[in-house]
Amino acid sequence: MPAHFNPFQIAQQQLDEAAARLELAPALHAFLREPMQEVAFTLPVMMDDGSYEVFQGFRIQYNTARGPAKGGIRFHADETVDTVRALAAWMTWKTSLMDLPLGGGKGGVVCDPRSLSPSEIERLSRGYMRKIAHLVGPEEDVPAPDVYTNPQIMAWMLDEYEAITGRHQPGVITGKPVHLFGSQGRSDATARGGMYTVREAAQALGINFEGAAVAIQGYGNAGQYAHKLGCELLGLKTVAISDSRGGIYNPHGIDYAAASAWKQRTGSLAGFKDADALTNAELLELPVAILFPAALEAVITAENAPRIQARVIAELANGPTTPEADQILYDKGVFVIPDFLCNAGGVTVSYFEQVQNAYNFYWPLAEVHARLDAIMTKAFREVHEMAQARQVHNRLAAYLVAVARVAEAVVTRGWVR
Ligand code: GLU
């Protein structure tokens, strides 16, 4: 993300536009512009050589009017308190748009997990949970994975929480391994939910995307599963993929099994055979039908938006497009499936995981898929109808649906009138 973009300012700017259209009362608008509660702390961790390093950690509960705070934990070197605030705000609008009985939150640690050993990451994860244990719980705040965190890290955090509280409480955290109270279908849920929204977009636009070329920026959980499921579910042809070190391009298509095995073996996509190298910036501007930003914030800006050639942008990342770029894309006729709609499959199956944990009864995969499809499809249609009715771009339409629900809960509770 370019240094001059502050994601929280962007999140507030997006909210301001929705608040104006919804004619929210000034105090209600002011309340929704800020997190309800945030904690920041230092996190000393013993390294493998016996030395200590001190990291900075955050947990932010943005809004709990509609239910317990919900949202992931990110381990990233560029993390800032404002990144976490923005991500927590977007979680609030995401759970609302999906109509889940949850609020929004997010957490993070400023660190480069790629330079840490597995045992250092375990101590960091357990230390993080010790710092937030008094704030989280199935009825307060439920963390999950985000960038550079995974099911193993969720398992360590669950174990630490249960050691502290002395109780079995798997619903304190989601995205756990399936064999340790996780849900079937959580691992590919973000990309799968995104594919359901792409399918709906194709129908709304009257376009057949079978065999269409797509580019995927980012090759973590969302990006890799988008590559796999794009092919399996929609018959898409992935011609370009990238990770933080750069990308690869082959107009005839890149095989998922070969590319993911290469990434697994070498740690990056660089040097993959049968493809040309390209930069992340070049990938975004390729002549493709669908572009999947699946990495970090603010990669589509006023600077490069005029050169984007995709017909559809399906945002698997959180916050990849700036407000200025949104307007440019809308004017150009690019159909954007906004982040907190497109990538909401992850938190939706996290919610299913919590439900299963609460009942101590677990669903088969087909049930997870069917329920996810129903929720994603309903949300897509609500956003699409709002966009058409109000003649606004899809992101603003999604905000209008989501913010209205949160505002209604806040007012009905009597917090702000
Ligand atoms: N980190 C994911 C997101 O941004 C998932 C959050 C969750 O499952 O709670 O939506």
For residues 49 and 164, membership in a common domain is answered with yes
pLDDT at 417: 84
How far apart CA 226 and CA 216 sit, in angstroms, is 8
Flag whether 119 is in a domain. yes
Task: Tell me what the mean pLDDT of segment 228-255 comes to.
Answer: 97
CA 142 to centroid of ligand 1, rounded, Å:
10
pLDDT of 252 over the 80 cut? yes
What does DSSP assign to residue 309?
Answer: -
Helix axes 189-205, 345-359, angle to 10 degrees: 130
Last residue of a domain, one of 180, 198, 228: 180
Whether pLDDT at 2 is above 90: no
Q: Are residues 156 and 187 part of one domain?
A: no
Provide residues with CB under 6 Å of ligand 1. Answer: 70-72, 144-146, 174-175, 318, 343, 346-347, 350
347, 355, 356, 375: residue to mutate for ligand 1 pocket, most atoms within 8 A of CB = 347
Residue 3 has pLDDT above 70, yes or no: no
Q: Is the pLDDT of residue 74 over 70?
A: yes
Rounded to the nearest angstrom, the distance between the alpha carbon of 144 and the centre of ligand 1 is 6
The percent of residues in the chain predicted with pLDDT above 90, rounded, is 98
Domain tally for the chain? 2
Choose which residue among 95, 153, 350 to substitute to test ligand 1 binding: the one with the highest number of ligand atoms within 8 A of its C-beta. 350
Same domain? For 169 and 227 the reply is no
> What is the torsional sign of CA 72, 66, 345, 383?
negative
Atom of ligand 1 nearest to the CA of 349: 8
DSSP of 3-67: TT--HHHHHHHHHHHHHHHHT--HHHHHHHTS-SEEEEEEEEEE-TTS-EEEEEEEEEEEE-TTS
CA of 275 from ligand 1 middle (Å) equals: 32
Residue whose CA lies nearest to ligand 1 atom number 7: 347
Distance of CA 346 from the midpoint of ligand 1 (Å): 5
Quick one: which atom of ligand 1 is closest to the CA of 350? 8
| pLDDT of residue 45 exceeding 60 | yes
Flag whether 366 is in a domain: yes
Q: What is the mean pLDDT of residues 238-250?
A: 96
Q: Cβ(94)–Cβ(190) under 8 Å?
A: no
User: pLDDT tens-digit profile of 327-367?
Assistant: 999 999 999 999 999 999 999 999 999 999 999 999 999 99
Q: Which of 347, 337, 300 is nearest to 316 (CA)?
A: 337
Same domain as 93, residue 236: no
Same domain as 208, residue 188: yes
We report the CATH number of the domain holding residue 381 as 3.40.50.720
> What is the Rg, in whole angstroms, of the alpha carbon atoms belonging to the chain?
20
Residues 197 and 343 grouped into a single domain: yes
Can you tell me the distance from the alpha carbon of 127 to that of 153, in angstroms, rounded to the nearest whole number? 12
- The pLDDT value recorded for residue 386 is 98
Ligand 1, atom nearest to 87 Cα: 4
**Full residue range of the structural domain in which residue 45 is found:** 39-180
Structure tokens belonging to residue 98: 């999906």
| 276 and 204 belong to one structural domain | yes
- 211 C-alpha vs ligand 1 centroid, how far in Å? 30
Half-sphere CA count of 264, side-chain side, radius 13 A: 8
Tens-digit pLDDT profile for residues 76-88: 999 999 999 999 9
Q: Which pLDDT band holds residue 162 (cuts at 50, 70, 90)?
A: very high
Compute the half-sphere exposure of residue 239: CA atoms within 13 Å on the CB side of its CA: 18
- CATH number of the CATH domain containing 55: 3.40.50.10860
Q: Which of 140, 176, 190 for a ligand 1 pocket mutation test, highest count of atoms within 8 Å of Cβ?
A: 190
Q: Are residues 49 and 65 in the same domain?
A: yes
In a domain, 375, yes or no: yes
- Please check whether residue 15 lies inside any domain of the structure: no
Minimum mean pLDDT range among 4-8, 41-45, 286-290: 4-8
* Main-chain dihedrals φ then ψ at residue 79, nearest 5 degrees: -60, 140
End residue of a domain, out of 136, 158, 180: 180
Instruction: Assess whether 285 and 214 both reside in one domain.
Output: yes
The CB density around residue 386, as the number of other CB atoms within 10 Å, is: 18
Q: Between the CA atoms of 141, 147, 150 and 153, what dihedral angle is there, to the nearest 10 degrees?
A: -60
Same domain? For 322 and 392 the reply is: yes
Where does residue 76 fall: left (phi above 0), alpha (psi -120 to 50 degrees), or beta otherwise?
Answer: beta
DSSP code of residue 313: E
Residue 174 alpha carbon, nearest atom of ligand 1: 8
Element (DSSP H or E) covering residue 129 = helix 118-132
Which residue out of 106, 131, 228, 263 is catalytically annotated?
A: 106
Same domain, yes or no, for 122 and 193? Answer: no
The residue whose CA has the least distance to atom 8 of ligand 1 is 347
Among 91, 148, 183, 356, say which to mutate for ligand 1: greatest number of ligand atoms within 8 Å of CB: 91
- Catalytic residue check, 106: yes
Give per-residue pLDDT as tens, 171-190.
999 999 999 999 999 999 99
Q: What is the pLDDT of residue 274?
A: 87
Q: What's the 347 CA to ligand 1 centre distance in angstroms?
A: 5
Assess if residue 226 is contained within a domain. yes
State mean pLDDT over 363-380.
98
Q: Which atom of ligand 1 is nearest to the CA of 142?
A: 9
Tell me how far the alpha carbon of residue 348 lies from the centroid of ligand 1, in angstroms.
8
The verdict on residue 256 lying in a domain is: yes
| Residues 104, 123 share a domain | yes
Answer whether residue 398 is part of any domain: yes
Q: pTM score, two decimals?
A: 0.97
Q: At 1, is the pLDDT very low, low, confident or very high (cuts 50, 70, 90)?
A: low
Q: DSSP letters of 331-362?
A: HHT-EEE-HHHHTTHHHHHHHHHHHHHHHT--
For residue 146, which atom of ligand 1 is closest to its CA?
1
Task: Mark which of 134, 151, 180 sits at the end of a domain.
Answer: 180
Query: Is 77 a domain residue?
Result: yes
Across 64-71, average pLDDT: 98
